[in-house]
Structures are given as C-alpha cells and as structure tokens.
A and B are shown apart, each in its own frame.
Chain A
Amino acid sequence: EAEVAQSPRYKITEKSQAVAFWCDPISGHATLYWYRQILGQGPELLVQFQDESVVDDSQLPKDRFSAERLKGVDSTLKIQPAELGDSAMYLCASSPEGHLEAFFGQGTRLTVV
C-alpha cells in the first residue's frame, strides 16, 4: 500500500542551527500539507501546496521557516535558525486532487536543545 514517506524520523539539533525535513507524498497526489504538532495539541497547518505552488502559508513563520516542492513531487521544510520552541512533531500529508481525505506520514520528531 502506498504511503507518505518522511525522513528523518527523529532529529535532535542545537538552538540556532539549521534543520531540514523531507517528505515524499503518495505518487500522483497533487496536494501536500506540512503540519506542526506540539505535544498534546492538534496539528497546526504550516503550508499547503497544490502541485509546486504554495496555496497557503499564512501560519508559516517566514522569518525562519521555508518550504519548497520543486517539480511538484517531494517537498522539503527548513528551519533556520532553530529555536527551542520549534520542538514538535512535523507531519506531512498528501491528497489526490479533488479528494478530501488526507494521508499522513509517520512524522519527524524534532528536539531543539
């Protein structure tokens, strides 16, 4: 069964360092989401792509976060510089065009020390 792949699964980084997460959505899925989930809370949408275009990044802290989806397939989310408050689970999800259900990867657990 096709899955959304994310790497790494776990990442520990020092404050002020750069960190990047990678997501490979299910083949053919046009919509790709990046969410941040703080422990005990619901996922918060950071950025949404439709193919290679960003259609919503209203909650993305643009001074330190960036996201790209070159060629409209896999995607990278970057944080530079990382802050202690960025410690969270970063989840990637994808959906086929016109489809309402989102398929999630296993997430990347980031700890900033």
Chain B
Amino acid sequence: SQQGEEDPQALSIQEGENATMNCSYKTSINNLQWYRQNSGRGLVHLILIRSNEREKHSGRLRVTLDTSKKSSSLLITASRAADTASYFCASHSGGYNKLIFGAGTRLAVHP
C-alpha cells in the first residue's frame, strides 16, 4: 500500500531551471518527508515538514504542505545535473508509525 502519490511521474529539465514535484496523500499525517534516490542506490532523507508548518527551506530545497488539500510540493531551485534522481514523499501512519512511500518522481536534469 502507498500513502502518497507523486506528480509528475517523470520530469526532464535543463540545468539552471527549477524543478517542482507534487505529492498527494490519503490519510491525516503528523509530518511529511522527502527522500532522494540515485539510480540503484538507497534512499537519502532530504527534508521533513510537520503538519503545523506550511513551508520549509533547506539550501536549494523548498517544501510546502497544505493539509487542507492533503498535498505537498518539493521545489529544487537552480537545478544541477547532479540532482538527477528519483524523489519520493513519505509519511508515518498507523499505531507504530509505519513509514509509507509514494511512487516517486523521476527527475532528469540535462547539462
């Protein structure tokens, strides 16, 4: 089962452009996280936003959360070829805080 659904499934941009990925989720959450995965590797945590926060920044990353719409967005500004990866949103649910991931957005940044 997956909690979040990312949109778009794939995104192709040029270096220097901004990349925006969206995540919609089904149930109420306490927090939402974004992870990055380079091809064939494990996932790396990028940023966490709590349900009482609307926006959070970390370097070139900006995350927004709209709990009324059950959606979040990840913005990567001034993208680089090294940002090429898959990006996943994830949230905890259930009594033991199961960490559930969405299907991901595959980002390709071309030099």
Band of interface residues on B: 20 to 34
How many pairs of residues, A versus B, come closer than 8 Å at their CB atoms? 63
With A100-B48, A103-B45, A104-B42 as contacts: A42 and B31 at CB distance below 8 Å: no
Closest to B100 in A: A45
A50 interface hit (Cβ, 8 Å): yes
Binary A-proximity of B10-53 (CB < 8 A = 1, otherwise 0) = 00000000000000000000010101000011111100100000
Q: Mark B87-108, 1 if CB is under 8 A from A, else 0.
A: 0101010101111111110100
Q: Which residues of A contact B31 (CB under 8 A)?
A: 100
Using known A-B contacts A33-B99, A56-B96, determine if residue A41 contacts B104 with beta carbons closer than 8 Å: yes
Interface pair A109/B42, CB less than 8 Å apart: no
Binding site for B on A (CB under 8 A): 4, 31, 33, 35, 40-45, 48, 50, 55-56, 59, 89, 91, 93, 95, 100-107, 109
Chain B: residues with CB nearer than 8 A to chain A?
A: 1-2, 31, 33, 35, 40-45, 48, 88, 90, 92, 94, 96-104, 106
